Amino acid sequence: MDGRKSILEDSIEKIAQILNAKVEKEKTHWIIPLSSKYRYFDQFNREYKACFSKRKNGVIVRVIPSKIEKRLNLKDEKKEFIVRDGKIYRTTDIEIIIEFIKNFFSKRNYNVDISPAKKTIGIKHHWIKAIIKEGSHRGDIEIVRTIPYWKVVLRDEDPKKPFFCTPFHQYIFHILPELEIGKSIEEILIDYQESEIATTSVSPISMLRRAIYGFKSPNLRAFYSEEGLFPEVKHRIRLCVFANLGFGIANASVFVRVAEKLKGNAWYTIAVGALAFARAPAESYYMRKSLGLTEHLPSTSLQKFIDSQEFKRIYESKEIKSWRNFERALTEIFRKRENFAVDMENYMRIKENIYKAVEEKDYQKVSLLLKDNLKLDESELNSLKIFINNLLPFNKEKIVEDLRDKVKKLSERNILKPGSDVILEKYLKEIFSHNLLRYSCNKAFKLFHDRLKQEERTPTKQEIHQLIRDCKRNIIPFRIFDILLFFSLYIVGYTATFFPNLPDLAIPIYYLFYGASAHIITAALNRFSSQVGLQYLYRQLENAPTIRSAADVWNEFNSHIMRLWAVFSSLGLMLGVMGKILSSITGNFSRYFVEGIALLFYIQGFREWFLYYEKLEKKSKMEE
């Protein structure tokens, strides 16, 4: 007992040292004779309470502020620390989150003040609302305690007139539940994103829209969101939704009509089709796992660095954000006109003059330049007024210097080609710095990202060999499961034939299991094998001198695979039916014969898959 007590007291002493306080121990007597309890407090009259926690796997020390401290500092939150394995952690609370948000915006040249506004405690989470301010600009912060992290949502008070965010966007932060003492406040961040309010709202319509378009994924947002590379791809997503929904409804309805005509219990097999729903979560899960297989490749490392807070803070700075918001609003006006490209070209021609006017803080001149050169009317100028007044000059030299430091780090991590740091440094000084005043800020940074990706080194043969090996290892369990599932068809078929007392319910239960398992296996095989196809085969096609277009070859190859599937799956169905038709003539021999052939074909297919990966592994290893 004394040993446990000394551990608790040592933990209290450690926390007091962190808070620059000295703990005193005061004995308090209880009603039970000869029993006692100690109270621990410091010179500020803060009380310390410690206990062991299995859930936290350590000692929890809570520091309760004094009544005077609550009144003077307006604090009613106790601080909680965890002593675990010789390290000390601070449990995340509102004070730490507010400190993080202030640090986040200070790194982007904002000078914000944050004040908590309202707090509620619900059954499932702890919800707090706060207000962020800089000058006359205000924003709302929602802080929600979820499991296993904190979620912070920050948006401007009026999304149409933003200052902290992009128009109609909001920041979403995921915060760790604890921070190791001595580490930077930035390390408490798990991830963050700036997303459209419409796609991140908790309303049922927004949640459905986010699920359909897959906008939870930053890759898909970058691909076909409104700010993405190809917003037009959203029409293909809608095609997939409407066509499959219509086909599924019609197919199910007609099938039920036919089943009713045939009587019996044939209708239950429609449930197998409904189990295609199992494919959706399986696709999401195995997509994430397959992405993990490429973490060691340079393309993934480069994208992670570009998406890092260290890199993003440059173009999320207050100065660049003011220009991005202004240019976004201006672009929306141009989109409503007939000559979008001409208007953008005219703006790029006068941007340097606009920038000089902003440096002189002559915002009236900015409005005149826009009116005279871009033919904006009064209503259009009024809609831009808030954005014009927020425009700030930026330090080109500082931006170039920061980006040059990031390029050096990429080069040190062996992500870029040899000598790329010199090439990119020249690009930043001679081209990028001029692009900031020649193009929109978004386009200038996009051109730099494109240039950065051009200097990305190609994966080494050793990295490709590791990718193929890892994909093979991940696929093997599903190939084995696939064969066992194939064998189960024989088991249920022969059981149905030779066991007449088999309960009718057993058949639909089996087909439900079979349908769900088949969809899960297909999702896993497709996601893992696609990494080898795209990262190795497609790249080799692009570099092959005998191939005119890798995209054409890849498209033709996939088309050929689908033709083979259509022909031979139909042929297999016909052979299976023929076995039944001829069974009366052959004395059931034809049924056993076609089933035996089917088993041999399936095993041969498994052997071909094994040889495919085995030879790819050898080929990639020989090329090292």
Instruction: Classify residue 223: in a domain, yes or no.
Output: no
Count how many Cα atoms sit within 13 Å of the Cα of residue 584 in the half-sphere of its side chain.
2
Q: Among residues 405, 422, 454, which one ends one of the domains?
A: 454
Q: Whole-model pTM?
A: 0.75
Instruction: Classify residue 273: in a domain, yes or no.
Output: no
**Structural domain count, the chain:** 4
Looking at the fold, whether 504 and 547 belong to one and the same domain comes out as: yes
Structure tokens at 579: 């076995």
Q: Among residues 200, 235, 255, which one ends one of the domains?
A: 200
From the list 90, 99, 94, 33, the residue with the least C-alpha distance to 58 is: 90
Note whether 568 and 598 are within 8 A (CB): no
Amino acid, res. 286: Y
From the list 111, 116, 115, 158, the residue with the least C-alpha distance to 139 is: 158
Instruction: Classify residue 41: in a domain, yes or no.
Output: yes
Number of other residues whose CB lies within 10 A of the CB of residue 424: 24
Looking at the fold, whether 612 and 467 belong to one and the same domain comes out as: yes
Name the DSSP letter for residue 275.
G
CA dihedral 464, 465, 468, 471 (to 10 degrees): -100
| Residues forming a β-bridge with 80 | 62
Looking at the fold, whether 606 and 479 belong to one and the same domain comes out as: yes
331's CB contacts (< 8 A; 6+ apart) are 344, 440
From the list 392, 380, 420, the residue with the least C-alpha distance to 111 is: 392
Q: Is 261 helix (H, G, I), strand (E, B) or coil?
A: helix
Instruction: Classify residue 230: in a domain, yes or no.
Output: no
Note whether 435 and 443 are within 8 A (CB): yes
Note whether 550 and 542 are within 8 A (CB): yes
Instruction: Classify residue 587: in a domain, yes or no.
Output: yes
Note whether 415 and 305 are within 8 A (CB): yes
Domain housing 163: 94-200
Note whether 333 and 347 are within 8 A (CB): no
Q: Among residues 70, 91, 112, which one ends one of the domains?
A: 91
Give me the DSSP letters along 149-213: SEEEEEEESSTTS-SSS-TTEEEEEEE-SEEETTS-GGGGEEEEEEEEHHHH--SHHHHHHHHHH
Note whether 177 and 91 are within 8 A (CB): yes
Looking at the fold, whether 326 and 432 belong to one and the same domain comes out as: yes
With residue 83 as reference, give the H or E element that holds it.
strand 79-84
The CA R_g of the chain, rounded to the nearest whole Å, is 32
234-260: pLDDT as tens digits: 766 676 677 556 655 655 554 555 455
Looking at the fold, whether 507 and 584 belong to one and the same domain comes out as: yes
Backbone angles phi, psi at 154, to 5 degrees: -125, 125
468-480: pLDDT as tens digits: 889 889 989 998 9
Could you give the angle at the alpha carbon of 34 between the alpha carbons of 31 and 37, nearest 5°? 70
Looking at the fold, whether 472 and 435 belong to one and the same domain comes out as: no
Looking at the fold, whether 327 and 428 belong to one and the same domain comes out as: yes
Note whether 157 and 139 are within 8 A (CB): yes
In the chain, which residues have pLDDT < 50?
Answer: 31-32, 34-35, 74, 121-125, 254, 258, 261-262
Note whether 175 and 92 are within 8 A (CB): yes
Note whether 528 and 290 are within 8 A (CB): yes
Looking at the fold, whether 486 and 601 belong to one and the same domain comes out as: yes
Instruction: Classify residue 497: in a domain, yes or no.
Output: yes
130-134: list long-range contacts, CB under 8 Å, 24+ apart: 130/94, 130/98, 132/101, 132/105, 132/164, 134/110, 134/163, 134/164
> Residue 117's pLDDT is what?
64
> Residue 124's pLDDT is what?
44
Report d(CA 487, CA 61) in Å as an integer: 58
Structure tokens at 426: 């020249």
Instruction: Classify residue 423: in a domain, yes or no.
Output: yes
Note whether 319 and 394 are within 8 A (CB): yes
Report d(CA 556, CA 51) in Å as an integer: 66
The position carrying tokens 């006068």 is 350
Looking at the fold, whether 415 and 494 belong to one and the same domain comes out as: no
Looking at the fold, whether 481 and 598 belong to one and the same domain comes out as: yes
Instruction: Classify residue 285: in a domain, yes or no.
Output: no
Note whether 109 and 317 are within 8 A (CB): yes
311's CB contacts (< 8 A; 6+ apart) are 305, 406
Helix-helix angle 589-622:550-581, to 10 degrees: 160
Looking at the fold, whether 171 and 86 belong to one and the same domain comes out as: no
Report d(CA 49, CA 38) in Å as an integer: 10
Looking at the fold, whether 392 and 425 belong to one and the same domain comes out as: yes
Count how many Cα atoms sit within 13 Å of the Cα of residue 7 in the half-sphere of its side chain.
15
